[in-house]
Amino acid sequence: MTSISGKTVFITGAAGGIGLEIARSFAAHGANVMMSDIDGDALELAAAKLKKSHNNVATIQCDVADYDAMQKAAEATIEHFGKVHMVVNNAGVGSGGRTGSIAMRDWQWVVDINLMGVVNGVEIFTPLMESHGEGGHIINVASMAGHVSMAGMAPYHATKFAVVGYSESLLQEMKERGIGVSVLCPAWVKTQIHLSGNDAPSRAGKEPNPDDPLAQQMKAVIESGMPADIVGEWVADCVEAGRFYIFTHPDFYDAIAARHKHIAADYQATKDDPRFAPYKAS
């Protein structure tokens, strides 16, 4: 069991969506919450509403893709609250396109935020959590897109699969260091992530294309998704219960099972081929 009450948590992408609802839930559980987001105006607006019912909330503007900015945000958290026990690496963007026509600068943008933003949070906050000897917890926000895939979203899937694998490695390493690890893998949640692709470098100065089929599809499924407050509450429950995988949508179990069945079938072909017999474990 991991208690949230009395702990300090740093949350990225906290100006809206899942990040804001995790902040709200953790504050309600008695945690000190440092909210961070690249959008300073939206961050202050969100925090002002949260502070009406919680006096344990502070803010710091920060770009997760900027290591130095994340370092300064960590220092600000320590200065404000004295120590930090948890980090929620939530900030992310959704971007895709037709393979062969995706601008490489857009690929780099997605990797810098969705993957390296998580890495920056882990690398910077792990020593801080170890320093006080009170334990800690890392919550990395991946996606159901880190387990099952669809066409047209290759950059997003690549980074979310990476966050899942990264988190699985951290789970093994952090046990002996007194730090828990969870990876959040939601499916469709009512957020603004479907609009984030408009900020891709290749889109600079351009108006969004309302006729883009992928954009229309994403808008429809996101707007019909699960309310973000349910996810925020569930994350707190799962952290306190010590769960590693935090799933949110029961209906996606069959999709994960189908993927595992496909893997097992293709692996069986290797086991059955006599060329690999000499390499079987004795």
What CA–CA distance (Å, rounded) separates 175 from 209?
47
Give the Cα separation of 98 and 102 in Å (integer). Answer: 6
C-alpha closest to that of 212 among 153, 149, 155: 153
CA 34, chain centre distance (Å): 16
The amino acid at residue 258 is: A
Output the CA torsion 195→123→247→58 (10° steps).
Answer: -70
Q: Tell me the H-state helices in 8-131.
A: 17-28, 40-51, 67-81, 104-110, 116-131
Three-state secondary-structure class, residue 245: strand
67 a catalytic residue: no
Name the catalytic one among 67, 156, 166, 253: 156
Question: Can you tell me which residue has the tokens 């100065």?
Answer: 205
DSSP code at position 59: E
Residues assigned a catalytic role = 156
